Amino acid sequence: MQRRYAWLLIALALLAPPFGFGQTPLKKVLSGCIREEGSGHIISEARIELQNSFGSPIANAYSDGNGAYEFDDLGGGDFYLLARHDGYEPSRQFVRPDGSGHVYMDVYLRIASGESGHKSVQPVSEHELSIPPKARESFEKGVQLVVEKSDYRGAVAQFTRAIEQYPSYYEAYAAMGLAQNKMGDAAAAEAALRKSIDLSAEKYPQAMIDLAAMFNGQKRFSDAEPLLRKVIDLDASSWRGQLELASALSGQQRFKEAVTRASAARDLKPDNPQIYLLLYNLHIHTDDFPGALRDADSYLKLTPDGPMADRVRKMRIQLQKAVQSAPNDSHQPPTF
């Protein structure tokens, strides 16, 4: 990085997206899982429609092979979530985002009369079948306390009850770790997430991603990296795993490797504006100024009125001016 561009890195520190665990996200995220009512079977390829408070559609998504869905740009106000799948009755639920920045909501679809379910429904695992109903009920109460009331202490009590009823409930340990971190107890959060990882024999990617994100937030980048590589070994299509790994590599100043991972995250999740902010920073670090300009344009195309949009516009103008006025050497990017 040439000295004349040092000011860009200082300014871009203000643009860096908060990928670390426990930091305030730029946008509210809504995610969860689509399941069959009664059996708990996950439902893939379900169509989920996000509607505004007037019932007008504003975004669409489909559940993946694990039944998971996500909307990462809720904006403000209340919403409705409409889920549909062949062979099931539609489900429409009210969503009121809290101040946590991440709303988690599982959706349960009821089999339509005379139907036996769709072939996309995947069998529930032996682990899920072994969860006692009372333990599952306590777990869902804990999630509800987090989502609807931001009552993290109450949620921890419910997750603890679920674990007492089913000691191998690694999902409850992971959820408890998230709630404990919200309470400011990082040590307890790390212990709970590690317990979840151990109980799942490192087969529950969500706990590993959350723990790695926590490490990134604490600047423990070398601790985060091996967890994230295991996540990607389990599921190379995990855009969040790729993104957190890019953040961990960037924290270790391995910028070229980080570009590769952030680019993979972008290809998997091209509609996530925060990925372009990270790529912007990485391309500045690697002297790829045309790439940085493209990242700025991609971010502004996705969120022209977003919270960082004005700052990104100013940085883009300053970068373009700096590039045009730079001496004609190997570091000068071509006209963009």
Three-class SS state of 201: coil
CATH 2.60.40.10 in the chain, residue ranges: 28-122
How many residues appear in the chain?
A: 336
In 3D space, the residue among 60, 62, 45 whose CA is nearest the CA of residue 122 turns out to be 45
For residue 239, what are its two tokens?
């855009």
Class of domain 28-122: mainly beta
- Please report the pLDDT score of residue 71 as a whole number: 85
Q: Which CATH architecture is the domain 125-206 placed in?
A: Alpha Horseshoe (1.25)
pLDDT score at 141:
87
- In the chain (336 residues long), the average pLDDT of successive 10-residue segments reads 43 45 55 85 88 72 85 73 89 74 82 59 66 88 79 94 95 92 94 96 90 94 96 86 95 96 91 90 92 93 84 89 64 36
Q: What pLDDT does residue 243 have?
A: 93
3-state secondary structure of 205: helix
Dmax (CA) of the chain: 74
Tokens in use for 28? 């509210």
Q: What is the pTM of this model?
A: 0.69
Residue 101 carries which side chain, given as an amino acid letter?
Answer: G
CATH 1.25.40.10, the chain: domain bounds: 1-21+218-336, 125-206
- Cα–Cα nearest to 68, from 197, 239, 215, 213: 239
Contact between 121 and 43 (Cβ < 8 Å): yes
CATH class of 1-21+218-336: mainly alpha
Distance (Å, whole) CA 282 – CA 302: 19
